[in-house]
Structure formats: C-alpha cells, structure tokens
Amino acid sequence: MIELLPPAWVLILAALLIALTKGHVRSAIVLIAPLIALVEIWFVPDGVVTTVTFLGYQIEPLEGSPVRRLFATIFALMAFGGGLFAFRTAKWQELSAAYAYAAGAVGVSFAGDLITFFLYWEFMALFSTIVVWSGGTPAARRAGIRYVIMHLMGGILLKVGIEGLVISSGSVDVRPLLAQDFNTWMILIGILINAAAPPVSAWLTDAYPEASPTGSVFLSAFTTKTAVLAFILMFPGEPVLVFIGLYMVMYGIIYALLENDARRILAYSIVNQVGFMVCAVGIGTQMALNGAAAHAFAHIIYKALLFMSAGVVVYRTGFSKCTDLGGLFRTMPITAVCGIIGALAISGFPLTSGFTTKTMISQAAADQGLVIVYFLLAAASAGVFLHAGIKFPWFVFFQKDSGLRPKDAPWNMAAAMILFSFLCLFIGIFPGVLYQFLPYPVEYKAYSAGKVLFYLQLLLFSGLAFFLLLPLMKRTLTISLDTDWIWRVALAAIAGAVRKSFEKAGTAVEGDIKATVGGLFAVTRRYFGPRKPDEEQPRGVFAQSWTIGTTALWVAALLTGYMLAYFN
C-alpha cells in the first residue's frame, strides 16, 4: 500500500515536524524526509493511482508517468540538497516553508486533474512567499509583497482558464491543449507568469536575490520548473512557445551582462535557461520534449549549485555586488571550484550536464529544419558562457583583490556543493544514466567529434571576447531597471501624483463646504438665533416671542395660501 501514499504528503508532514521540533531531531527530519519522499516517488506506478469524486468530477490526485516521475525525483533531490546546505544556518520558519514549497512542486508533478494541479500550484505560491520574507530585511519584505501580488494575479488567470475549460469540456483531466480560445489562453498566460516569461519576469529577479543565502537556493529550483512541466503536459507543440522561449533566452542574457549583483546575475540566467526549455516544448517533437525534461533536471542541479556558491559568499562576506568582491579564491577554494563547475555546466561545456541536455534541444530544432532557431540557440549558448560561465566566477572569485579574506563554506554547505558538483559531472560524463528516465526513447548521442569541436570553438571564442572586452564588462555601482520599473517607479509616481491631486481637490472642496456651511449657520443665526445674555429679545426674528393676535394672523395667511394653491 506504500504506493498509494502521495509523496507530497511526506514533505508536508516534514514541514510540520520541522516547525514543532528542535536540535538534532529537526536536523534528522530535514535530511531524511526528502529521501523517504524519493522512495515514495519511485513506488508511484504509471497511470492513475487514486481517484476521488468531488462535485461530480473525478479528481486524480496521484497519476504517474515517466516525465512526472523525473520532475518529482529532481524536486526531492533538490529538497535534500537544499536542506543539507541550509539546516545549520536557516531559521526554522524558512526550512518549514521551503519543505512545504517542495511538497507543492512534487504535488504538481503527480496531479492528474486540474483542480489538484491548481491547489498545489497555489500552495507553492504561498510558501515560496514565506521563503522570500524569511530574508528578514525590509527589502525582502517589500519584494515578498510584490512577489505574492504577481503570483496571485497569475493564479487568478489560471483559475479563470481552468474553470472555463472545465465548464466547456466537462473534463478536469490534465491533458494536451492548444491556445486557441479564451480559456486555454488564460491557462497558458497563468503558466507563463510562473515561468518568468517577460514582460512579467521581474518578480523573479526582484525577489530571489532578496531572500536569505539559503532561501534563494530553494527558490531557484521549483516555481519555474513546475511551469516547464505544466507546458510539457498541457501545451506540447504550441508554436507560440518557440518565440516566447527565444525571447526569454536573449532577454536573460542581456540583463545578466548588465547586472552588478551576483545573485541577480544568476536570477536573470534562470529566465535565460527556462527559455531554452520553453522553446523546446514549443517545438514539440519527442526529441525536443526529452530535451526540455532533461535540461530542466540538469538546470535545477547546476543552478542550485551556483546559488549555493553565491550564497556562501554572501553568508561569509555580507556582500553580493561584483564591485565589492574579488580574489576570494585565496581563502574559499572549495566554493570557487564548485562555482566554476556550476558555471561550466550552465554554459554547456563538454563533460558537464549542461552539454548533454542543452544540445538535445538544439538538435531537435535542427531535425525540424528550424535553422534560425538552431543558430539563435547556439548564439545564446555563447551568451550564457559570457554572463554565467565567465562573468560570475571571474568577478566574484578572481579579478581584483578586494582584500576580503573570509573562511570557506561550513562543512554542510561544502558537502551540498560537492554533491551537486559531482552530479553535474556525472550526468555530463555518463548521460545515458539520465536519458533512460526521459519520457520518450532516446537515440541521441551526446558526444561526437564535430559537435564537441563546434561547441568548444563557440565557448572558447566567447571567452576570448570576454577578456578582450573586459574594460567594457567591468561593472559599476549601478542598478539595472527591468520591467518592474513600471510598477515600482512609474505606477508609484502616478499614484503619488493622483494622491496629491485629490488632496488639492479635497482642500478646495473642503474650503467651499466650510464657506457654504458657514453661510447657512449665519442665516440660521439671523432668523432663529437665541438671545444674548444682555438682550431681552432673541436675535432671530423667528425665535422671538409673538402675541396671540400676530400668531393668529400668520396662521390665517398660511391657511389662505394653502387653500388657494390646493384648489388651483
């Protein structure tokens, strides 16, 4: 019966126990729970495992398939690696939220219906926000608010699309779709927001660098890659994704080259790398979908490794800007070597995981005769080597001597980095181990003389260009304005101007009201005002005492006027 237990529940239970325990017990839970979840994942068979009837619909909270199992596996491995990296320094709130966040990603992986899919999707948004807030700084709190607003907007769009699709089709199954009507477009856009597709990608580069050094490691892994899985399951072969993916690829490269903050460089490279996967899903062939799944698997490992390396630097020095760093290899050799391995992997250097997965996507484009797409992806590989393969390690660990002499990583952080470095090299040297778990049969050969020579030439010449243009590549104390300028600067300025206009208008209206009310009071005092202490008669004519005769005269006059008006 073990296969009937959803693996996500293991991590949810772990998140609860992390919050309730302390010391070595909590540490044991952090390290053991992901491994138990990993065992559970591989007990999930192909096909629908459990069904529940809800509001007349068949809910399928647990459905297995090769691609679902592959993503769930890397999510569980990421939870273990992140927990190993973080358990000695992270707050319990962050660890608990991070494991609940990972549980949401595993839940999305096995969700067989759109209702379960949406619930786990929003579960991820909630607890990833807490991870951002765990950064503990005013900047982290503000970034977390902007982060949750963007994800709530994406969740609303996704929910509208799901409801419309369920009403129109009568089915809640997660199944392949095409963006051809309002409902499917809403679903596609909702997923694109989680994939950090521009122009709504700024939530990622805004929030991830503001999290703690340990929190950013967890954040790098789950949200965007669950979006990739959602595209594979629901929009394989959607043509518009090819163009969106290419735009993401180039967008991430340009902003990463301009960036000064080390963790923001890595955040922009997430957008870039997810662009490769989105483009592959848009191509939609078996080779392309295998490439998207394999590259997502490899990306989670090397991207977490890069964020671990940067996180150790921030943890030890307190600095994250390239202009404040340099020369750290002298006292942080383990962190530097692991960071370089991650940088080579993200660049697709031969014998690393990035080469054996990213080239599958390029080959899929070539097989379909998409020549322009193929050469754009090749050019993008050179751009990745510039900003993540060389720029990040060079400015952080080498370049000038910053005078900083921090200690190297604590033993648990070093162990996590070494583990992920080993995986980057193992998948690069023995790609068949990963290929056998991909959703479709693989006949692709990663290594050939021509392919290796082509990519070595591409990467080495881009490296040469970096050092020749090094004076232009050096960063200054600048801030790159992304599309979040619209709501962080422009909308804030507009809101301030509107508020001042209303204040001015309110002041003018208030003055008019005061004048009008004052006039009414003056008239009232004039005709109905009471007498002053030194006066025998009231000041107002209608407040004075009248004789009975005068009163009778007024009553007769009023009655006569009323009778004339009534009978006419």
Q: What is the pLDDT of residues 464-496, one digit of tens each?
A: 777 776 666 665 566 667 777 776 677 778 877
Residue 78: pLDDT over 80: yes
Residue 33 lies inside a defined structural domain of this protein = yes
- Note whether 389 and 349 are within 8 A (CB): yes
Least confident of 91-105, 332-346, 500-514: 500-514
Rounded distance between C-alpha atoms, residue 298 and residue 294, angstroms: 6
- Check whether residue 187 and residue 144 sit in a common domain: yes
Over residues 365-390, mean pLDDT: 86
Predicted confidence band of residue 238 (pLDDT cuts 50, 70, 90): very high
- Check whether residue 508 and residue 441 sit in a common domain: no
- Check whether residue 516 and residue 376 sit in a common domain: no
**Domain of 171, in residue numbers:** 1-216
In the listed set 478, 507, 526, which residue is the last one of a domain according to the structure? 478
Over residues 60-73, mean pLDDT: 93
Max avg pLDDT among 192-201, 414-423, 550-559: 414-423
Domain count, the chain: 3
Residue 292: pLDDT over 70: yes
Name the residue with higher pLDDT: 510 or 82. Answer: 82
- The phi, psi pair for 402, rounded to 5°, reads -75, -10
Tokens of 194: 């989680």
Residue 20: pLDDT over 80: yes
Q: 3-state DSSP call for residue 76?
A: helix
Rounded distance between C-alpha atoms, residue 89 and residue 413, angstroms: 10
Residue 255: pLDDT over 90: no
Tokens of 140: 């982290």
Residue in the block written with tokens 């939220």: 97
Task: Give the pLDDT score at 188.
Answer: 95
Over residues 74-78, mean pLDDT: 96
Residue 228 lies inside a defined structural domain of this protein = no
Tokens of 123: 């579960």
Q: 3-state DSSP call for residue 51?
A: strand
Least confident of 30-39, 133-142, 227-236, 482-491: 482-491
Residue 523 lies inside a defined structural domain of this protein = yes
- Check whether residue 459 and residue 518 sit in a common domain: no
- Note whether 288 and 328 are within 8 A (CB): no
Q: How many CB atoms lie within 10 A of CB 541?
A: 12
Q: Is 351 left (phi over 0), alpha (psi -120 to 50) or beta?
A: left
- Check whether residue 446 and residue 359 sit in a common domain: yes
- Check whether residue 274 and residue 314 sit in a common domain: yes
- Note whether 132 and 219 are within 8 A (CB): yes
Reported as type and span, the H/E element at residue 530 is none
How many CA atoms lie less than 13 Å away from 263 in the CB half-sphere?
A: 29
- Check whether residue 311 and residue 352 sit in a common domain: yes
- Check whether residue 364 and residue 508 sit in a common domain: no
Share of the chain above pLDDT 70, in %: 92
Name the residue with higher pLDDT: 495 or 172. Answer: 172
Task: Give the pLDDT score at 1.
Answer: 44
Predicted confidence band of residue 310 (pLDDT cuts 50, 70, 90): very high
Distances (CA, A) of 185 to 115, 194, 264, 319: 18, 15, 30, 42
Task: Give the pLDDT score at 291.
Answer: 94
Residue 244 lies inside a defined structural domain of this protein = yes
Cβ-in-10-Å burial (0-12, 13-18, 19+) of 483 comes to middle
Mean pLDDT computed over every residue of the chain: 87
Over residues 351-370, mean pLDDT: 92
Predicted confidence band of residue 533 (pLDDT cuts 50, 70, 90): low
To 10 degrees, what angle do helices 92-110 and 114-133 make? 160
Residue 386: pLDDT over 90: no
Residue 98 lies inside a defined structural domain of this protein = yes
In the listed set 186, 216, 246, which residue is the last one of a domain according to the structure? 216
- Check whether residue 444 and residue 336 sit in a common domain: yes
Q: Residues 25, 31, 36, 41: is their CA dihedral positive or negative?
A: positive
- Note whether 370 and 280 are within 8 A (CB): no
Share of the chain above pLDDT 90, in %: 54
415-442 pLDDT, tens per residue? Answer: 999 999 999 999 999 999 999 999 999 8
Q: Which residues pair with 62 in a beta bridge?
A: 50
Rounded distance between C-alpha atoms, residue 196 and residue 208, angstroms: 12
Residue 484 lies inside a defined structural domain of this protein = no
Nearest to 307 by CA among 357, 348, 268: 268
Rounded distance between C-alpha atoms, residue 313 and residue 298, angstroms: 23
- Check whether residue 41 and residue 127 sit in a common domain: yes
Nearest to 297 by CA among 447, 104, 72, 10: 72
The 8-class DSSP code of residue 489 comes to: I
Predicted confidence band of residue 526 (pLDDT cuts 50, 70, 90): low
The pTM is what? Answer: 0.85
Beta strands in 402-464 (DSSP E): none
Q: What is the DSSP string of 280-309?
A: HHHH-SHHHHHHHHHHHHHHHHHHHHHHHH
- Check whether residue 20 and residue 127 sit in a common domain: yes
Please tell me the total number of residues recorded for the chain in this structure: 568
Distance of CA 519 to the CA centre of its chain: 59
335-359 pLDDT, tens per residue? Answer: 999 999 999 999 888 999 999 999 9
Residues 6+ apart with CB under 8 A from 221: 75, 78, 82, 105, 300, 303, 304
- Note whether 198 and 251 are within 8 A (CB): yes
- Check whether residue 94 and residue 134 sit in a common domain: yes
H helices, E strands: number in the chain = 24, 2
Task: Give the pLDDT score at 2.
Answer: 46
Residue 483 lies inside a defined structural domain of this protein = no
Residue 420 lies inside a defined structural domain of this protein = yes
In the listed set 437, 456, 478, which residue is the last one of a domain according to the structure? 478
Task: Give the pLDDT score at 225.
Answer: 95
